[in-house]
Chain A
């Protein structure tokens, strides 16, 4: 491999010290399968002992480090991939388990366009495919964000391949070349090559796309602001947002003697800690600020009521009609989306329940242009539904009584509609 003209070699520390001559045992020496290192002729990897691969040579003077081929003849032979030198060993197999990860090489890249060439052994005129080039070891997202288009390589027909890497800054870093190319593909098997190429392509492209999104500049402030809004601050200050964006990006938030996060980009632990521990949410003086805080989410208020007032599923001792009921009910809140416009997993669209930038249509929030996302669903039918439901819960328990939040467990409805019962 050549980076900007400079030769890059790999030599395995596990390489064999002896270099035997190639020993051709015959055209199809099936009695000798699996064959030892530097024995031939092989056609597939299974003809070689465990850990060895069949090195396909179909032209004169093809060579493989670790085997001496003085006759220079074109029979294929078994090789140890650890003997790789001056080239990457590209195994067969056609599935991701056979990917080879070379040791990292430190290379210098220049600002602008860098050229990477891969030289293919003579005679292997079917192109290898190098699907992925990754620069590792530099704290993210610096690197990933510099790869405007994550590099993606597909081999072409010529035996000398040219790849272009677009790098916007000069950097020196460990360079891991995680490459995959089925050796069978190097020879003849176009079908398996394209099959594998497509699968790997899809995997890498998905990965690259996700990475691009995760490291996008908007992600940290977007997530931070939205999480702050869900944690009770509808209009977080720029300083508060910036502090927690840093926590998310650096993966570290320190509060007193405690630190949170794993020091990696995208730490939700650090972000969450920042969101709930920052001075903007912990200083009591802020309660005096009229713009502080938020409206509460309807379902959370119902939960507050249920938890704080110690709801339990306790069937009444008198009055329940119908057959005996098991007491192991789940808490049965029924059709909450209809009643209060808010229910777990029942969001009306991908935009969820609240518009994050919703400004109420009246009052001081309108004049001050303050967002009150939860007010998005505070319309008359839902306010009436929510308040009726809580009134009923307090007075009649978990039931359908007087527009309650649940369903009636017995045969006849609370209201007596289905029987001749009376109310009150």
Chain B
């Protein structure tokens, strides 16, 4: 049984720092490493601190590694300055209490990766005068030989569309997404039908020219959906990042988290709000296995307060490091300490949402009034056996959402939370030979939250899925050109979250003005009375 230990054997590596020291004692070692890593700038003060700290190591090799570890924390290594300490302790301001009187709001983005077959999430049920249900079953492959892949009337969890603009009075939710039916009937969930990534309103004749993205491709549609800025007005940023930048500029303290890796959606403009990346198991450790006792204290000592005439860049590093270590420890301690009262599923999107719920509990100690979270669930690229695959995925999602909604309600935050769901594209209504569906475009997505005026199917559910000269929105095989843009949901959501119309909204959603009449404002989605 081998393990990763500080024994100089590097048992879990593909290579290591191989330099053999020439110094015969610890003082010489410090001097040697200082020359190599700081061009000899390391102050006598810091040399003494490092020598004292590392002398407790048992042998020269261990001391040598200890010295390197400490020198890479020094301001002389991180800047080209020399520095002189003032001899005083550094005052690190860890007070995060917000003086904002704004009430707390959290935006949770659930991304269903792979392209959700969303016409299998919400299907037409009772429709007149056009029997859209029959058309739906037909395009989903129902014929004399096969039932196809469409939801049947019997399977559906029926909801009232509550929208005279729709071709159907009732719709059916997938049977394994009962949480959505419950929330919908509570007025806490709503759908937008036939929405998708668009830069301008388009139809089958001009969609290629006017939507300059790689339509139907996972990578690009996923990226562009998260950026929601296909004309690149704010290069390299995503919706969450831009929202956070605007909120920060208005002095609304905001944190941005991804519980699912680095995400462009969370990236703002350079120098803006730094997104946190957590795993479902929480924040990564800092210096998880310190080589010497009280190592963090030694690190802070190396970066103690400096004199006024000390190097400014060195001071900048020492200050940022000390603050980062303090805020990391604070958040880590808080997060590790909180627990939630609801049982969450382990693994997957459920575990991610549990982390979100835990983070919400640390909002006071983080001093924020806004939180943005990104979580994701994969496995939606259902090129074969779409129905069976979605039963599995939806069941997992349903369980996760049930737990999350229950927990948020326990925390008393339900009116303060909105969950929005996106996916890169919907899929062909027409099945392939493997009872799967292939890459499409426009589809249905949902949002849930205690503040929503839900219980309504917004957007416009297609009443004709077949490509023909008279159908402006159907491409081949039931690929639907979206009627509503992603901005339809984003606009009202962003407004609720504190983004004002005008320059703020133009930055957050640079394309939203291209869709007059196809955008939902805060009053549409949240009504006049909202938290």
On A, residues with C-beta under 8 Å from B are 232, 234, 287-288, 290-296, 301, 304-306, 308-321, 325, 329, 331-332, 335, 337-338, 348-351, 353-355, 358, 360, 362-365, 368, 370, 372, 375-385, 387-388, 390-391, 393-403, 406, 408-410, 414-416, 421-424
- Is B313 within 8 A of A311, CB to CB? no
Question: Contact check: which of A301, A309, A360 meets B68 at CB < 8 Å?
Answer: A309
- How many residues on B have C-beta within 8 angstroms of the other chain's C-beta atoms? 67
> Within the complex, which residue of A234, A384, A397, A409 is in contact with B313, where a contact is CB–CB below 8 Å?
A234
Q: 15 interchain pairs (CB within 8 A)? A: A290-B309, A301-B77, A319-B2, A329-B15, A363-B312, A381-B275, A383-B324, A385-B284, A388-B288, A390-B72, A394-B72, A395-B65, A400-B12, A406-B13, A421-B1
Measured CB to CB, the residues of B under 8 A from A are: 1-6, 9-19, 36-37, 41, 65, 68-69, 72-73, 77-82, 235-237, 261-262, 267, 270-271, 274-277, 284-289, 291, 308-313, 315-317, 319-321, 323-325, 327-328
Bound: A422/B5 CA distance, A: 10
Question: CA separation between A410 and B4, bound complex, in Å?
Answer: 13
Select which of A376, A416, A424 is within 8 A of B5 by beta carbon: A424
Output the nearest chain B residue to A337 by Cβ-Cβ distance.
Answer: B262
Q: How many Å lie between the Cα of A309 and that of B32 in the bound state? A: 11
Q: How far is the CA of A317 from the CA of B12 in the complex (A)?
A: 10
Q: Is the CB of B77 within 8 A of A306?
A: no
The smallest C-beta distance from A29 to any residue of chain B, in angstroms, reads 54
Our count of residue pairs bridging A and B at CB distance below 8 angstroms stands at 246
A375 and B312 contacting across the interface, CB-CB below 8 Å = no
17 additional A-B pairs beyond A317-B9, A396-B13, A408-B12, beta carbons within 8 Å, are: A287-B41, A290-B312, A292-B311, A319-B9, A325-B14, A332-B14, A360-B320, A365-B312, A377-B270, A378-B320, A380-B276, A383-B321, A398-B14, A399-B12, A406-B13, A409-B13, A422-B3
Asked whether B236 lies within 8 Å of A349 as measured between CB atoms, the reply is yes
Q: Which of B15, B267, B317, B323 has the most CB of A within 10 A?
A: B15
Instruction: Flag if B79 contacts A294 (CB, 8 Å).
Output: yes
For residue A381, give the distance in angstroms from its CB to the closest CB of chain B.
Answer: 6
Looking across the interface, which residue of chain B has its beta carbon closest to that of A332?
Answer: B14
- A contact face: mostly helix, strand, loop, or mixed: loop
A296 touches B78 (CB 8 A): yes
> Would B17 and A310 count as touching, CB distance under 8 A?
yes
**List of B residues within 8 angstroms of A362 by Cβ:** 319, 323
**Residues of chain A within 8 A of B41, CB atoms compared:** 287
Let me know if B79 and A293 touch, CB within 8 A.
yes
Q: Which residues of B contact A318 (CB under 8 A)?
A: 2, 9, 11
Q: How far is the CB of B452 from chain A (nearest CB, A)?
A: 32
Min C-beta distance of A227 to chain B, whole Å: 16
Given A318-B11, A402-B4, A424-B4, A290-B310 contact (CB < 8 Å) = yes
Q: B277 to A363, Cβ gap below 8 A? A: no
CB contact under 8 A between A398 and B79, given known A290-B312, A348-B236, A358-B271: no
10 cross-chain pairs, A with B, having the tightest CB-CB distances, nearest first: A397-B13, A349-B236, A319-B11, A379-B274, A397-B16, A397-B10, A319-B2, A293-B80, A309-B17, A313-B15
Task: Select which of B14, B16, B237, B274 is within 8 A of A409 by beta carbon.
Answer: B14
Nearest Cβ on chain B to A410's Cβ, whole angstroms: 7
Within the complex, the shortest CB–CB distance from B58 to chain A, in Å, comes to 15
Verify B72–A375 contact, CB threshold 8 A: no
B277 partner residues in chain A, CB cutoff 8 A: 338, 381
Residue of A nearest to B290 (CB): A391
What is the minimal beta-carbon distance from B5 to any residue of chain A, in angstroms?
6
Minimal Cβ-Cβ distance residue in A for B62: A395
In the assembled complex, the Cα of A362 lies from the Cα of B262 at a distance in Å of 27
Least CB distance from B249 to A in Å reads 13
Q: Report chain B residues within 8 Å CB of A376.
A: 270-271
| Closest chain A residue to B10, Cβ basis | A397
Using Cβ atoms and an 8 Å threshold, which residues of chain B touch A293?
79-81, 311, 313
